[in-house]
Amino acid sequence: MSAFLYQLSIRTYSFLMHIVAWFHPKARLWVQGRKGLLQRLADDLPVRIGQQPVVWFHAASLGEFEQGRPVIEAFREQYPQYFILLTFFSPSGYEVRKNYALADYICYLPVDTPQNARRFVEITKPKFAFFIKYEFWYNYLRELRRKEVNILSFSAIFRPQQLFFKSYGNFYRDILRYFDHILVQNGESEALLRSIGLQQVTLAGDTRFDRVKQIAEAARELPEIAAFVKDSPCLVVGSAWDADMQVLIPFLNSVQVPLKVIIAPHEIHNEEIERWRQQLTQPSLRYSAYVSDGGVAPEHTQCLFIDNVGMLSSLYRYGHLAYVGGAFGTGLHNILEAATFGMPVFFGNRKYQKFQEAVDLIGMGGAQPVQNTEELRQYMQPLLQDYTLRQQKGETCRQYVLARTGATSQVMSEVEQYMR
C-alpha cells in the first residue's frame, strides 16, 4: 500500500508541476528541462561515455551540490578514468551549475517513476551512485540495487520525526536499506539509523565544512568592494529576503556609528531592490552602477546592493559581521560561508533549528537569532562598538568550521573499499 501511495504521490506532483508551470517560471524550467530528456540521454550519452565507467552524483539543489562538490572533485582527482554524470532535481541547482567544468554531463533527474528509473539506469549504466544529504528516490534506488550498482549517501542527516523512524514507516526504512553505506553528519543520525537495524553507517561529518574552507581559500579579491568598505566596519547581508530586510532596514536607519553594508538579495528583482533603497534614509548604490562609474561611490553612501549572482562567497571576506537570510521564510541559508571568514552571524529566529551549525554556533556564542529590529539592535550594537568582542565571537565561528573539516576524506576512504 505504501509503495502504491508513493507512486501516486510522485505522479501527482509531476502533474501539478505541469499545471503550475503555466504561471511560475521555476516550475516552467522544471518541466521544460525534463521534456524529451531520456531520449536526449539515449542519443548523447553512449557516444560521450565510450568505454569509461560512469559515476553518478545526484543533488537536489544548489546547496546540496555545493555540499557534495568536494567529493566530486576528490573523486575526479583520484579516479580520472571515470565519466562523471551530475543530476539535479531543482532548477535552482541545474540552472546555476549546468556548466560546471568537472562533470562530464549535467542534466535534470527524470521524475522518479519505475519506467523512468529503469530507462535512466539502462542508458547511463553507472558503477557508482552518490546521493547527497536528503535524496531518497525509491524507484531509482531499487533499480540501482537490481543492477548491483554501489550506492552511497553522504552528508546525510536524520531526525526522530522523519517517517523512517515511525511505527508505520516500514516502506521508508526499506528505502534506506538499498544503500551500501550511509555516511552521516552527526551522532544522533548514526544512533537513529542503528536503532532501526542499519549497520552500514559511518559518522563522517558534513562535507560542507570542506567546501567552505575551499571557498575561503579561493575567495576572489574585489578591489571595488575593498574601496567601498575602506576602514569602516562592514555588515554583509547574504541571501536577503523581504522579511529579513524589514527587520534590517529600521536598524540601518538608526545606526549611529560608521557602518558599511553590502546586501546580496536571495533573488535579483529590480523592483524589490529599488523599494528597499527607497526605505533607507542613508544613500545607497547598486553594484552595477557603482562599477560602471569606475568604483567611485558618492560621499556618505552606506549601502551597496549586489544586483548579480555569484559574488556572495567572495564578499564575506570584506565583512566584520554577517546577517544571513531565509530563516523568516523557507529556511536559513548557508551561514558557514560567513562563519569561515571569522565573523559573528545573525539570522531570523524561526526556521533555523534543523541546521546543526546554527544551533551549535548559538550555543557557542558565535551566532544570534533575532525576532525583530529591537533584538537585532540589542545584540549587534555592542559588536559595532567593541572591536575585541567582535573579534572573539568571529574567531569562535572560524574555529568551529576549521575543527569540522575532513568529511570528504572519510567519504573517499569508504569509496576505496569498493574499488578493491
| Tens digits of residue pLDDT in 76-87 | 999 999 999 999
Residue identified by cell 562535507 is: 207
Q: Which amino acid is at 48?
A: R
Is the pLDDT assigned to residue 1 strictly greater than 70? Answer: no
Is 291 strand, coil or helix?
Answer: helix
The grid coordinates of residue 366 equal: 558565535
Residue-wise pLDDT for 354-371, tens only, equals 888 999 999 999 999 999
Which tens digit of pLDDT belongs to each residue from 229-260?
999 999 999 999 999 999 999 999 999 888 99
Per-residue pLDDT at 309 exceeds 90? no
Residue 148: pLDDT band with limits 50, 70, 90: very high
Between the two ends of the chain, the Cα-to-Cα distance in Å is 40
Nearest alpha carbon to residue 133 among 95, 89, 99: 89
**Distance between CA atoms of 144 and 121, rounded to whole angstroms?**
7
CB 161 within 8 A of CB 122: no
Let me know if the fold of 2-206+405-419 is the same as that of 221-401.
yes
Name the pTM for this structure.
0.84
Residue 296: pLDDT over 80: no
**Average pLDDT, integer, range 50-54:** 95
Question: Of all residues in the chain, what percent carry a pLDDT higher than 70?
Answer: 100
The per-residue pLDDT for 2 is 83
Average pLDDT over residues 319-337: 95
Tell me the CA distances in angstroms from 120 to 13, 42, 393, one per residue in order: 20, 9, 49
Task: State the DSSP H helix or E strand holding residue 415, giving kind and residue range, or none if neither.
Answer: helix 407-419
CA 166 to chain centre: 28
Domain ranges of the chain: 2-206+405-419, 221-401
Gap between the Cα atoms of 146 and 166, Å rounded: 27
Highest averaged pLDDT of the listed ranges 191-195, 253-257, 311-315? 191-195
Integer Cα distance of 341 and 63 in angstroms: 19
Q: Examine the pLDDT at 151 and tell me if it is beyond 70.
A: yes
What is the average per-residue pLDDT within 128-150? 96
pLDDT at 298: 76
Cα–Cα dist 376/6, whole Å: 44
Instruction: Decide if pLDDT at 5 tops 80.
Output: yes
d(CA 237, CA 262): 6
| Closest of 204, 255, 207, 219 to residue 234, by C-alpha | 255
Mean pLDDT for 307-329 is 94
**How much is the average pLDDT of 206-226?**
91
2-206+405-419 maps to which CATH number? 3.40.50.11720
Please report the pLDDT score of residue 262 as a whole number.
Answer: 98
Cα–Cα distance for residue pair 271/97, rounded to 1 Å = 26
Architecture of domain 221-401 in this structure: 3-Layer(aba) Sandwich (3.40)
Contact (Cβ atoms closer than 8 angstroms) between residue 200 and residue 181: yes
Per-residue CA distances from 340 to 122, 212, 352, 361 (Å): 42, 7, 18, 12
- Cβ atoms within 10 Å of 89's Cβ, excluding its own: 20
- Write down the mean pLDDT value for the chain: 94
Backbone angles phi, psi at 17, to 5 degrees: -65, -35
Phi/psi for 43 (5° steps) reads -80, -40
Flag whether pLDDT at 145 surpasses 80: yes
Tell me, what's the pLDDT at 356? 87
